Amino acid sequence: MLSKQELSNTSSLSPDYISQQVKQAILIVYGLDHPVPDSLADSALMSGFGFNDYQWIELAFSLTKIIRNYNPDQSVTAPDLENLVTVRDCIDLVIQKSGI
């Protein structure tokens, strides 16, 4: 995730900031050591990552972690995962469950 300094320099309630967090989480689950969130298009298909079951679970955990920074009672469920077609769907899910 973003460093403490990046976190302190960014409005953590901004949808743009959450978008960056979500993209970074996706790229980390994908296996990139130094992900660049801006390199990932909102329209990118999640199927293009070829995630296995473990990676989908890891992504759900990572997205839940982001959500719980804003709304500790929410999480990503299995049905939520089934509806994630694009990166934008992931971002919208996190924003919606975060209550922002």
Query: Could you tell me the two tokens for 99?
Result: 């209550």
Map out the domains of the chain as residue ranges: 4-98
* pLDDT tens over the chain, length 100 residues: 544 444 444 456 688 999 999 999 999 999 999 999 999 999 999 999 999 999 999 999 999 999 999 999 999 998 999 999 999 999 999 999 999 8
Q: CATH code for 4-98?
A: 1.10.1200.10
DSSP class of residue 14?
Answer: -
pLDDT on residue 6: 46
pLDDT on residue 61: 97
pLDDT on residue 8: 41
**Chain-centre distance of CA 93, in angstroms?**
9
Query: Could you tell me the two tokens for 26?
Result: 């996706």
Would the pTM of this model clear 0.75, i.e. be above it? Answer: yes
| Burial annotation 31-50 (CB, 10 A radius, 16+ → b, else e) | eeeebebeebeeebebeebe
